[in-house]
């Protein structure tokens, strides 16, 4: 018998001061059986930090040829391709060509992510920002998520503040590029 996805209902107060985005989000995320809680958590973070018109969460690891997060314009054309974790360089390049803009949000070893992308020898990938998040903090925060959770997420001057329950976490969002 096939395992089914676990549904998470997340109520998020988002305040992205850097971009002037202030929203109350009610996200319903399907965590696939083969998806770690940390990966799902990073999909949610990427969604929040990229939030805007036309944004959508895909099915995550079950999305096939789609990234973790897509942004489309009013005509349905993909305008941003957002990957999470340690994406394949060729897939990221295809997404960049399709959308014109791509980004990677990772809680993995950023040096390995950059090295893997650089090894593909695709010049265009130097334009793709790779945002690094502290793995230990991501692990700790993701363990606090319940199937129904309320979070607050604030961003100011590349500092990320996340409140889950009575706990608050702070981390700097480090941006890297393939050289």
Is residue 61 over pLDDT 90? no
Is residue 63 over pLDDT 90? no
**Higher pLDDT, residue 178 or 61:** 178
- For the chain, give every domain's residue range: 6-176
Is residue 2 over pLDDT 70? no
Q: Out of 45-49, 64-68, 73-77, which region has the weakest mean confidence (pLDDT)?
A: 64-68
pLDDT in tens, 80-90: 999 999 999 99
pLDDT band at 59, cuts 50/70/90?
Answer: confident
CATH of domain 6-176: 3.10.640.10
The predicted pLDDT at position 14 comes to 98
DSSP 13-59: EEEETTTTEEEEEEEEEEE-TTS-HHHHHHHHHHHHHH-STTEEE--
CB 31 within 8 A of CB 8: yes
């Amino acid at each position: 018998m096939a395992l089914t996805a676990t549904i998470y209902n997340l109520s998020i107060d988002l305040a992205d001061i850097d971009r002037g985005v202030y929203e109350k989000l009610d996200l319903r995320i399907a965590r696939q059986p083969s998806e770690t809680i940390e990966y799902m958590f990073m999909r949610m973070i990427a969604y929040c930090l990229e939030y805007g018109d036309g944004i959508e969460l895909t099915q995550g690891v079950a999305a096939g040829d789609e990234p973790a997060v897509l942004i489309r314009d009013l005509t349905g054309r993909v305008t941003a391709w957002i990957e999470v974790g340690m994406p394949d360089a060729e897939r990221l390049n295809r997404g960049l060509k399709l959308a014109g803009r791509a980004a990677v949000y990772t809680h993995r070893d950023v040096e390995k992510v950059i090295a893997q992308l650089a090894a593909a020898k695709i010049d265009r990938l130097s334009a793709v920002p790779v945002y690094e998040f502290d793995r230990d903090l991501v692990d700790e925060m993701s363990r606090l998520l319940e199937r129904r959770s309320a979070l607050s997420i604030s961003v100011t001057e590349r500092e990320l503040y996340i409140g889950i329950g009575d706990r608050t976490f702070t981390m700097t969002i480090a941006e890297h590029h393939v050289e």
